[in-house]
Copies of this chain bind each other. A is one copy, B any other.
Amino acid sequence: MNIALLGYGTVGRGVDDIIRSRVPDVSVVRILELPDRLTDPRMTSNYDQIVSDQNIELVVECMGGIEPAHTFIAQALSAGKHVVTSNKAVVAAHFAEFAQLATANDVAFLIEAAVAGGIPWIASIEKVRRIDEVRSFSGIMNGTTNYIIDSMRREELDFDVALGRAQELGYAERDPSADIDGIDVANKTILSACVAFDVDCVRDLPVTGIRTLTKTDLNQFASHGLMVKLFGRGVCKDGSYAVAVEPVAITQYSLEAAVPSNFNLVSLEGFTVGPLKFYGQGAGSLPTGNAIVQDVIDVMRGRRQVYDFSRGLTYDPTLLTSDYVFRSSTMPVAADAWAPGMWLVRNRTATQARSLFERLQQEDPTAFMAALPKEG
């Protein structure tokens, strides 16, 4: 099968390497790159040469960003080409449109690499759903923030020092906002909810990151036997669903607390299969490239995943209700003291907690919050 790559950064090069060395049935015949980077005879900066080429059956989009990725994917699907993408931002923004185009043109649209890198997360959700309902999912979906928290805790680094290290190692961008403010996790949470619950997931979910997390916070949580991680979460029940991204304080003995460095751990709860958890590299050239190539092989073997969001779930924020710990110089609502400078506010939805947090941040921009998940 002849395929084209859109983008030849870290992920694109990984895909090209893996296919050349390990997948003899697939050839990368075209690569879309910027006009000043055409270093390989397969490269072109003219997308028409790819989308109008009848010999190209499948397009791998790993450019990132919303445009022109959105237009290119839509054009490829409309031209009857399968699309495999690692671009969580564009899928989170346009999943329903892409799914519809894929169905209308009888081609595959696969997104394994867009969430949790090399971990077979999307395919596992889809497999579970052949038999089961997915009641909930949650997990550590961003390696950069896990690396930062892990370094802060193990080596007692300040947030900025840990972030600087993540940037040196190439885990974090120069502008780290998408990671540390939870935007990347929000996109992955939206995609996971779309696939797990068959719903065109809301985009305005409550999202809180870890930008204001301090060593002292981690020590306070540790003295309660807890460890903070940044979680994406979703719940589905009785025709309703809810999603959120926020720091969660979990017991120090949990699997999630043990996730080191920049690894990911994603979990789901199925009706018959029970809890399943998947751990691995959430990013990187070869792991993400591996996920893309797995999708390409699936397409070659005839997989045509159909995403249909017409089930009509309603959004019900009360499905995600927790007690919350806030560190803040002020606390305008009824709350219990939890630790020096920290307050326990009981029984809030993730949406309510986010609203309160925004209010606190107006007074105290250094404020921090974390959910305390209920037992059981």
Contact = CB atoms under 8 A, between A and B. Distances in A.
A356 interface: no
Copies in the complex: 2
A131 B291 CA distance: 10
Interface string A104-121: 000000000000001110
B297 A272 contact: no
A85 interface: no
A273 interface: yes
B281 A278 contact: no
Given A274-B118, A279-B276, A131 B18 contact: yes
B274 A286 contact: yes
Given A127-B294, A279-B279, A294-B127, A132 B22 contact: yes
Instruction: Give the 4 A-B residue pairs with the shortest CB-CB distance, closest first.
Output: A277-B279, A272-B286, A118-B273, A273-B290
A25 to B, nearest CB: 11
A323 to B, nearest CB: 22
A289 interface: yes
Contacts of A23: 131
A38 interface: no
A83 to B, nearest CB: 20
Interface of A is mostly: mixed
Nearest to A297: B130
A305 to B, nearest CB: 13
A280 B276 contact: yes
A277 B276 contact: no
A270 interface: yes
A120 B118 CA distance: 16
A294 to B, nearest CB: 7
Interface of A: 14, 18, 22-23, 118-120, 123-124, 127, 130-132, 253-255, 257-260, 265, 267, 270, 272-281, 284, 286-287, 289-291, 293-294, 297
Contacts of A287: 272-274
Contacts of A272: 14, 18, 22, 118, 286-287, 289-290
8 contacts: A119-B276, A130-B294, A131-B294, A255-B259, A255-B279, A276-B280, A277-B277, A277-B278
A294 B123 CA distance: 13
Contacts of A18: 131, 272
A267 B272 CA distance: 23
A14, A124, A255, A294 — most chain B CB neighbours (10 Å): A255
A273 B277 contact: no
A338 B127 CA distance: 47
Contacts of A131: 18, 22-23, 290, 293-294, 297
A124, A130, A131, A132 — most chain B CB neighbours (10 Å): A131
A220 B124 CA distance: 39
Nearest to A289: B272
Nearest to A133: B22
